[in-house]
Amino acid sequence: PDEYTKDDIKGLSVRRFKKDIKNQVSGSFLERKVEVKRCQASSKEENAFNIFADMQLQMDTVKTQGVGQLFKTSLEKSLFSSPAACIKSIDLRLAKLRKKYAYDEITDIKTLENLREALARINPEDFSRYQNLLSLLRSKEYDWTESTDDRIVIFTERIETMKYLVENLRIDLGLRADAVQDLSGAMSDTEQQEIVENFGREESPIRLLVASDVASEGINLHYLSHRMIHFDIPWSLMVFQQRNGRIDRYGQNRRPDIRYMLIKSENERIKGDVRIIEILIAKEEQALKNIGDPALLLGKFSIEEEELVVSNAIEDGSDTNAFEAIFDSGEKEFNPFEALMAAAAEEAQPAKLRDEDTLYSDINYLYNALNYLNQTESHPVSKMTTVSGLEVSITPDMRRRLNALIPEEAMPSGDYLKLSDDKEFCMAEMKRSMQNTMSDTAWPKTQYLWKLHPIFSWINDKGGLLFGRSEAPIIGLPDKMNPNEIIFIVTGSIPNKKSTPLIDEWFGLGYKNGCFKSTYSMNDVIQSTGVGVTDIPNTDCITIKDVRDATELLPDVVRQAKKHLYHFYHEYQDRMNPLIDEEIDKLASLEEKHKKYQLSISENERKCSEQARKVDDLFDKFYNWVTDTLTIQDSPYIRIIAVMKGV
């Protein structure tokens, strides 16, 4: 459709931001400290600013309106980064111009040379933002210590600025070369990962990490750093979010300290453009608190397009009120994500809580199973003494399975696998492992034991081989049940058309004197038999007659199990059939919209028919998927898990 409504995007996704879960993870998101550090431009900088503001470039006057940034705008962006970055941009453009034009054929060559000369005269002592950075790092107010867990991340947009900072900070702060590290997208993924890991290790000598924006996405720098400095200011709110998210993230245990470095100039052009950059800083902070995602303010969802909005404002000479109005209008306009979130809030239903009670805890199940399966081993498994956990002897068969499922760097090199179900202990181990020597892997020696750990896949497969096909154990209970009582523990499932279970129930069927008595929930079965509550000794009291009597009851057990499952079958149909019909109606409506759209853009009847067939094929697949996935089949699968017999 030309315009999307709330119904068009309803239910597509749900987004939750830091502000939405802040109360649920108390203490994990500390309120950030944000400060803008301003400094007055030096006389040499003011000279360069004046030359820049006054210059007119022929190449920009012939540039097609609306196609990307003017070169002067791009040059200003590099100028706001550093003289070194601006000189680099000028040199690259001069090389192109000299190759294409004679010296007196275009005035831009002379104009750019004049600006370059002015920039080249700006030494580190004249570079006011750099001097302001040094003052900040040395100040008592900033209180940057020599502690190994007090490291700083400095972000810059330009590689030349990054190189400049690394070189000069080493000299002016008296730091060793390996204490100031650069990080850029020009490095290989392996190099970047190694630097990031080292930055999070106390043993590493890195004190300052100077990174380019290319390296600002998807890396964790918060383990030993809570300080970030924006040496230059990005022209995209999405880049703000990416930069700040490197240290201001879940797991940061110190208050994030974020500083923005800005310059003050007497030049009116520069002063106005810096004010636009200041609005970006304020809007990013405002968006973070109010809506969670700064990208929603401009609604572009693209770094390049956001930068173009800022570029256009600078090129048009927009005042601050006009620039702020762009953000205000963006907030007022319809936003599909906001509508989606509103729809989710309107229809939110109270969550149904289900307990995860099992016969054994994960750790006890693993302990008992390993002891039974590895009876030939001298020490198959032992309990850890200092924390709830197990030390498992890795058999050759187990190692083959785990090697295929566990990352190589996480797989223990020795003969034992350490597992713990203590979350706090495992988190502490993870943090401690970050401090391993740089020749070791940054992976904890004790792994977290949870339901999806690969060792359970191996254990379950082994346990499944204890009984053959169509076999089930019969267990004699001397105290809990009378000799004339039997309880069959049954699992029953009913699939969809793809053979995926839609209903999966465990229950007990009780018999007395060979006659069906009652259906039990699993909690009732546990209470009646004591399974999983107390240890049941193997008294070897089950006779051949007991086995024969239980076997003769199997046909009735299957009948009673099906009868019990049909209650769930009909309940599912009553609940899901209206929803299936509703989904089919939605697809039919959407299919009609697709056909109308194809008809509106098709150039001839043959192409229109061809596109209509494609739409039919596409939606046939959708219809089939909905019906095959959600339609329940009248074919329950019954399995006897165990038989409990009074003796």
Confidence at residue 8, expressed as pLDDT on a 0 to 100 scale: 64
* CATH number for the domain whose boundaries are 6-37+138-346: 3.40.50.300
Segment 123-150, tens digit of pLDDT:
999 999 999 999 999 999 999 998 988 9
With b for 16 or more beta-carbon neighbours within 10 A and e for fewer, the 238-257 pattern comes to bbbbbbbbbbbeeebeeebb
Q: What is the mean pLDDT of the chain?
A: 86
Confidence at residue 146, expressed as pLDDT on a 0 to 100 scale: 87
What element of type H or E holds 638? strand 637-646
Has residue 461 got a pLDDT over 60?
yes
Q: What 3-state class would DSSP assign to 153?
A: strand
Contact partners, residue 287, CB within 8 Å, separation at least 6: 237, 293, 294, 296, 297
Distance between CA 395 and CA 377 in Å, rounded?
Answer: 9
Q: Where are the beta strands (DSSP E) in 185-247?
A: 208-212, 225-230
Distance between CA 183 and CA 131 in Å, rounded?
Answer: 22
Nearest alpha-carbon partner for 148 in 223, 44, 91: 223
Segment 368-397, tens digit of pLDDT:
899 888 776 666 899 999 999 999 999 888
Q: What is the mean pLDDT of residues 586-602?
A: 83
| Paired strand residues for 515 | 512
Has residue 616 got a pLDDT over 50?
yes
Confidence at residue 511, expressed as pLDDT on a 0 to 100 scale: 96
| Calculated CA dihedral for residues 9, 10, 14, 16, nearest 10 degrees | 90
Confidence band, pLDDT 50/70/90 cuts, at residue 250: confident
Confidence band, pLDDT 50/70/90 cuts, at residue 536: confident
Segment 258-282, tens digit of pLDDT:
999 999 999 999 999 999 999 999 8
Query: Alpha carbon 580 to chain centroid distance?
Result: 32
Distance between CA 278 and CA 131 in Å, rounded?
Answer: 20
Segment 153-186, tens digit of pLDDT:
999 999 999 999 999 999 999 999 999 999 998 8
Domain ranges in the chain?
Answer: 6-37+138-346, 43-120, 362-464, 468-647
Confidence at residue 343, expressed as pLDDT on a 0 to 100 scale: 46
Q: What 3-state class would DSSP assign to 106?
A: coil
pLDDT greater at residue 546 or residue 293: 546
Q: What is the mean pLDDT of residues 394-419?
A: 88
Cα within 13 Å of Cα(592), Cβ side = 5
Cβ–Cβ under 8 Å, residues 458 and 464: no
Confidence band, pLDDT 50/70/90 cuts, at residue 517: very high
With b for 16 or more beta-carbon neighbours within 10 A and e for fewer, the 67-82 pattern comes to eebbbbbbbbbbbbbb
Distance between CA 565 and CA 250 in Å, rounded?
Answer: 45
Angle made by CA atoms 581, 584, 588, in degrees to the nearest 5: 135
Confidence at residue 473, expressed as pLDDT on a 0 to 100 scale: 92
Cβ–Cβ under 8 Å, residues 115 and 141: no
Has residue 572 got a pLDDT over 60?
yes
Cβ–Cβ under 8 Å, residues 246 and 216: yes
Q: What is the mean pLDDT of residues 41-48?
A: 97
Confidence at residue 330, expressed as pLDDT on a 0 to 100 scale: 54
Q: Where are the beta strands (DSSP E) in 42-179?
A: 151-156
Query: Which of 185-199, 378-392, 623-637 is most confident?
Result: 623-637
Confidence at residue 103, expressed as pLDDT on a 0 to 100 scale: 84
Q: What is the mean pLDDT of residues 577-606?
A: 84
